Structure formats: structure tokens, C-alpha cells
A and B are shown apart, each in its own frame.
Chain A
Amino acid sequence: MCLAIPGKVVKIDGDTAVVDYESETRKASVSLVDDLKVGDFVIVNAGFVMDKVPEEQALKSLEAWKNAGKND
């Protein structure tokens, strides 16, 4: 049940990052990860940025999710 769609950090304000998911944006605390930058891809869960995701891996995951949606 745990899968996680990556999002892209579009803004960081203090402890809070704004993460873009194309269809929506979400705010998440950055207190668990170091050296986060705008443009990084991240996994967010329960209001926290859980980890950074390498860009290539994130784009691959997003593509897979889009394709899965087309097959619904």
C-alpha cells in the first residue's frame, strides 16, 4: 500500500517546502532531510519530505504513473 509519487520542490520557506504534483501543490516540513533545494524531486508523506529522489528515477516514476492512469 505504500507507493509514493514523487513531487518537485517549487519553493522553500523556512521549515516548509511547497511541492508540485502537476495536479496540485502540497506543503511539507523539511525537518527530516538536509540540503533540500528548489527543483529537487522528493517523496512526501504525512506532511514531511521523507527523502530526495534522483531526477532520472523521479521522471521514470512519474511516467509510469501517467501510463498507469491511461490504462484505467
Chain B
Amino acid sequence: MIETPETVFFKYAYPCSDELLRLKTISPAQKDLLDYFFDQKKAPKRDLLEVCFPKAIERLKRFADGDDYWTVENIRSYFLVYHNKVIDNREGSYATCSRQIRDLCKVRCGEIHGIENINGNIVYVVRYNQFKETRVSGRYLPDAKVNDRISVHWRLAIEKL
């Protein structure tokens, strides 16, 4: 996938689309479109992303502070830095969700220390710091290797860093 602002935004935001559908924030037709683009390893156009992920877009704009918010650098920095601060500050819907959910929502960076194949599912054993290790899915990033540093959102490996 060629890296564009849309592809970077989509790979971080897409894992939330299941939940947005359950919450009826997006329609089944919109979810089908998002799934289609994800399966095709392509990103939807900005207008669809803006409609499906309005809260993330709103925060992305705020993070850009008046500059162009649709840049690769702004989007990656938003997800790797600002996104977790939004959660820690308990903004919007994060005010009422449990700590467990807030932890899952955070984007974390860690190093792969092991790779397992569980019934065809690639699972990375990721160490976030000296003490914390967790298993994350390699479904969206199947070609990572031991010692690779990756970002993780919702226990899903998102990209190599």
C-alpha cells in the first residue's frame, strides 16, 4: 500500500469500525465500504473517512492547530502521541468508559519478542516496556519479524515504526 494521508489514517482508524457499526454511528453500507477498502488494501477517499470517523477528524484538526490536518506527519503524530492524551484526559465518550476499554483504545509502541501461529492466525508477543508483554494480532501486519518495533491499536499490530 502506497503511503498517503488516507492510508495512514485508515489503518489506525479502521479497527474502530466494528464498534462504530454496533453503536450505529456508521451504517451497514458504510461499514461494508470500509471493509471492502481494507480487504483491497486501499484507503477510502477523505470524504468517506470524514463522515465515518468524525470525532477522530475533529481531534486531528485540533492537533494540527490551523495547519493542514491531512498530512502523513500530522496523522501519525496524532495517533502516536495525541490520541492517548485525549483518552487520559477522558474527553468525550472516554469520560464514561472503563479503564480496561481506555487501555485497549490507546495506541502503544512495542517490540516483537515472539511470533506464534494459532490456527492460522499470526500472533505477535509484544513487549511494551521491560515488564509488560502482551499478545497482539498480526492480521493487519502479517510480515513483521522478531525485534521489529511496531504500533498497536486494540491489540492489533498496525505498522512497523
Contacts and interface: CB of A to CB of B under 8 A. Distances in A.
A61 B136 CA distance: 25
B56 A1 contact: yes
Contacts of A1: 13, 16, 19-20, 25, 53, 55-56, 93
A46 B156 contact: yes
A50 B104 contact: yes
**Interface-centre pick from B13, B23, B53, B155 (highest chain A CB count, 10 A):** B155
Interface stretch (B2-10, B118-126, B142-150): B118-126
A14 B154 CA distance: 23
B19 A32 contact: no
Nearest to B92: A1
Nearest to A46: B15
B104 A43 contact: yes
Interface stretch (B41-49, B62-70, B94-102): B94-102
A20 B123 CA distance: 25
Interface string B1-45: 000000000000111101110110100000000000000000000
A15 B123 CA distance: 13
Given A2-B16, A29-B137, A57-B98, 11 more contacts: A1-B25, A1-B55, A3-B93, A3-B101, A5-B22, A31-B118, A45-B16, A45-B154, A47-B18, A48-B137, A48-B139
